[in-house]
């Protein structure tokens, strides 16, 4: 079956702009999580969505937001971009079974803020 | 607070040598631990998880609750094992999240 798909793969934005990233999970997966990966901080959890509801949120400012649609596809939005938002943003999908919480990752969207 | 620590940023070994990538965690609940691997230009993928107690590509990891460790081991390293390895703790707090360590870059040289 198809893996997790993220679009676009690369983005270059200017400080102050906003950006929307998209994630299509594996068919049947209802949980979608987002992570930020940077050389300094590593992989940090942003938020998790399930059945169109945000269930869990990491320690990021309100400029970072997301949503999930009825088909489980998810988007994340970053407003008022800062240089420090430059990172690889990873999306992961999983079945919502607590004993089988294997996360399948997409290839990521590389965001560069200039 | 939940925390995952991988003390080594880089580990370099010769082909055929044993490998141990260290991972320590702090978590007040019952931990669910994973090792993820990222090969060059590939996506992050699950290597193994403690609940299945399996061996994948020759790697094993045992959860030691007394030492709060989940070290990854392989008796004989291969060049194709060169990759970035992340230890992760699954946390359930009204929703699901993975708490990752900073990762260890493993380099296996011939």
Name which of A72, A91, A101, A99 is nearest A20 in CA terms: A91
CA distance A55 to chain B (A): 5
Q: What is the pLDDT of residue A1?
A: 66
B33-48 average pLDDT score: 94
Burial of A39 from C-beta contacts in 10 A (0-12 / 13-18 / 19+): exposed
For residue A2, the surrounding DSSP H or E stretch is none
Burial class of residue A107 (count of CB atoms within 10 Å of its CB; 0-12, 13-18, 19+): middle
Cβ contact (<8 Å) for A107 and B97? no
Cβ of residue B98 closer than 8 Å to a chain A Cβ: yes
pLDDT of residue A70: 95
Q: Distance (Å, rounded) from C-alpha A96 to C-alpha A33?
A: 12
Question: Is residue B110 less than 8 Å (CB to CB) from chain A?
Answer: no
Nearest CA in chain A to B42: A107
Q: What is the mean pLDDT of chain B?
A: 92
The percent of residues above 70 in pLDDT, for chain B, comes to 99
How far apart are the C-alpha atoms of B22 and B39, rounded to whole Å?
A: 18
Backbone φ/ψ region at A61: left (φ over 0), alpha (ψ -120 to 50), beta: beta
Q: Give the whole-angstrom CA distance, residue A5 versus residue B80.
A: 26
- Using CA coordinates, name the residue in chain A closest to B6: A42
Count the alpha carbons within 13 Å of A22 in the hemisphere toward its beta carbon.
7
Spans in chain A with pLDDT lower than 50: none
Task: Note the pLDDT tens digit of each residue in B23-38.
Answer: 999 988 888 899 999 9
Q: What is the pLDDT of residue B90?
A: 87
Nearest to A96 by CA among A45, A51, A53, A46: A51
Here the tokens at position B9 are: 């940023």
Quick one: pLDDT at residue A99? 56
Say whether pLDDT at B47 is over 70.
yes
């Amino acid at each position: 079956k198809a893996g997790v798909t993220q679009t676009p793969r690369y983005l270059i934005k200017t400080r102050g702009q906003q950006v929307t990233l998209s994630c299509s999970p594996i068919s049947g997966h209802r949980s979608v999580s987002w992570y930020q990966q940077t050389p300094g901080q590593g992989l940090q959890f942003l938020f998790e969505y399930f059945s169109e509801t945000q269930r869990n949120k990491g320690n990021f400012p309100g400029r970072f937001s997301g949503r999930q649609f009825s088909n489980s596809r998810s988007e994340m939005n970053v407003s008022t971009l800062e240089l420090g938002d430059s990172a690889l943003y990873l999306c992961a999908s999983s079945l919502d079974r607590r004993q089988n919480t294997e996360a399948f990752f997409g290839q990521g969207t590389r965001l560069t803020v200039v | 607070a939940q925390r995952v620590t991988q003390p080594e940023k880089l580990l370099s070994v010769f082909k055929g040598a044993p490998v141990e990538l260290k991972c320590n965690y702090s978590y007040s609940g019952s931990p669910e631990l994973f090792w993820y691997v990222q090969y060059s230009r590939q996506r992050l993928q699950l290597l193994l998880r403690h609940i299945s107690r399996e061996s994948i590509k020759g790697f094993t990891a045992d959860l030691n609750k007394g030492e709060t460790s989940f070290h990854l081991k392989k008796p004989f390293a291969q060049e194709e094992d060169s990759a970035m390895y992340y230890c992760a703790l699954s946390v359930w707090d009204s929703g699901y999240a993975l708490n990752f360590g900073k990762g260890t870059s493993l380099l296996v040289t011939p």
